[in-house]
Amino acid sequence: MVLTLALLPAGGNLVGSLLAEWIRVPSWAIGAALHAAAGVAIAVVSVDMMPRALETLPGWLLAIAFGCGAAFSIMLKWGVDWGRHHVSTGSAGAWMVYMAVATDLLSDGLMIGAGSAIASGLGLLLGLSQVVGNVPGGFAAMANFSDEGVSRRTRLMIAASFVLPVLLGASVGFWLLRGAGSIVESAALAFIIGVLLLATIEDLVPQADEPGAVRWLSTISFSAGFAFLVLLSSYLG
């Protein structure tokens, strides 16, 4: 049941990826979509994840867990650079956007798994809150790869791979965090916050600025992504 719930946010991401395959958009629109995805990611951190972590986690432990997540984000960047050098498919920036979206899905899975360990209704609520919110991320990542000339077959394989981090996160959240205590659960959330926030600010946002979307459009896109996730979180509890 937990893995089925985890497919909800993955489904939203897949819809966005397929839309990017069907709709040809200019580079400035890709930049706007990336800004919207950044807004969603920041809202996930500030509205859903950080308040949960702050409820039970001491400040010093939150700082340590966040720092570990930031260090892991650097390791991800090194791994992406290494893979880019050996695979030569898409730019390092495009792959870091992929990692930012994948990390967002990992955090979705972690929250769904941990929530389901507490109550199945909470897991369902968290899954539903991420369905539409993940559409911009999938669209932006695939449109970015398409804009860089990555083959359609490779893009479809990349889109399909987005299901892996959310299933992994759900499994970890359920089996490892079930009964582990609120401190351990909050520390795990702080770790994911470190990874997601650093990947978003250091990689996704700069990549969003490259296509040259005008300031008013990028601002509206970012604000819309943030506000939409906030509304979903508010009305779905």
Q: What is the pLDDT of residues 43-76, one digit of tens each?
A: 888 887 788 888 888 989 999 999 998 888 788 7
Q: Which two three-digit tokens encode residue 79?
A: 């791994």
What pLDDT is recorded for position 62? 92
Which one has a higher pLDDT value, 117 or 237?
117
Per the structure, the count of domains in the chain is 1
**What span, in angstroms and rounded, lies between the C-alpha atoms of 81 and 92?**
6
pLDDT tens across 11-52, in order?
888 888 888 778 776 777 777 877 887 888 888 888 877 888
**What span, in angstroms and rounded, lies between the C-alpha atoms of 47 and 214?**
27
**Residue 14 CB: number of other CB atoms within 10 A?**
19
**What span, in angstroms and rounded, lies between the C-alpha atoms of 130 and 50?**
16
What pLDDT is recorded for position 86? 53
**Residue 10 CB: number of other CB atoms within 10 A?**
25
What pLDDT is recorded for position 212? 65
Range(s) of the domain holding residue 35? 2-235
Model confidence, pTM: 0.70
End-to-end CA distance of the chain: 21
pLDDT tens across 119-177, in order?
666 677 667 766 766 777 787 778 777 776 777 788 888 788 888 888 888 888 788 77
**What span, in angstroms and rounded, lies between the C-alpha atoms of 24 and 143?**
8
pLDDT tens across 77-113, in order?
776 666 555 554 445 556 666 776 777 778 778 777 8
**Axis-axis angle for helices 215-235, 27-43 (nearest 10):** 40
